[in-house]
Structure 1
């Protein structure tokens, strides 16, 4: 009997030590997941306390085993909860970042579209307010300021500066300018000058006719006066 009791006590002690080791290992996992800084001596103390279970009679071993397994299950559940919480927080931060990026992109797109609509509206309004060559009564002569005023009323406002730059370089706003070597004529130095007759037969004496022809030429060949000016800057002709 004595020998049998001793064996049972050793078995209980071994199980208690093994249980303490398992609980301590799982507890360490929980500590890492939750940010705990528990010291090793705490784990050793827990193991020492559990080895005292060896003094429990052999008949109560099943209860000791059940208690140890229950404790291990609880510790594992805590570790699982901590891990799930971290994963949920990371997912929430990722979702919030993605939502913020999507909102920013949508706002930038809306702002771009609004700007394009406004520019289109301004361009349409500018075009609707322009006059054509036939709206000007012929005169015997014209000053530079009068010719420039005609151009401002015929060319869309957003394109006028580019249009003016070309005229400055080609004729300095002299509607009777003639190139002595090539015979190019007028505000835009058309070659031959007679091609401006497509707008009016008075192309030699009417700057409005020349302005209309020059504007048509820039739009048809380059897309706009500003596109024509870009080409002129690169090539010194258009």
Structure 2
């Protein structure tokens, strides 16, 4: 089972593929969006960088953008904080000045929820839950709804607060549950790399979720991440993005 970020796939295939392609065909010079990120001119060309508002930075979900893509884009709010954006919108009488912040998965409503959305589109299958030694602990109704690191929904009774999904095998319909220590790993195997320039080997800062903190790591010659300190496993399908200071130098997908 994979746990991709839907915002990244939307950006990859719709906003910055179909939309930009359409804009080029129509003769537009630029496409402007409201993403909190910056486009920086460097000696090696245009590069994506973190936005001024660290709490709203969206560079993680834009890591796949190439220099050619960036040449067609403009991020007007990237140099502003969210409060500054709201103040500007208020002065101009825009209704969006008081609009609540959008949620990551904009196409799933609060009333519908993730489980309902996926069950309407996927065949869900029951699965066995075992511990790291293979001892049976119980079962769940839908293995497709479980991801690495998940704690709730494993039907483990009183042990649930201390037990996590440490391995999910959709094909064999089996979930391995373990402790927080069992969830730790020193490395992340990666595929489908996207580089801002040429492949990089060396120390980097790494981000593994849209709003997660970055962590120090080393990018190996094989293009994998080796953490400075062991961290929780990254779910297959999750995006892993590499930074040097505020510049995005590349990203890849966990396998």
Report TM bin, short chain: under 0.3
TM-score by length of 1: 0.18
TM-score by length of 2: 0.18
The structure where strand makes up a greater share of residues is 2
The structure where helix makes up a greater share of residues is 1
Larger radius of gyration: 1
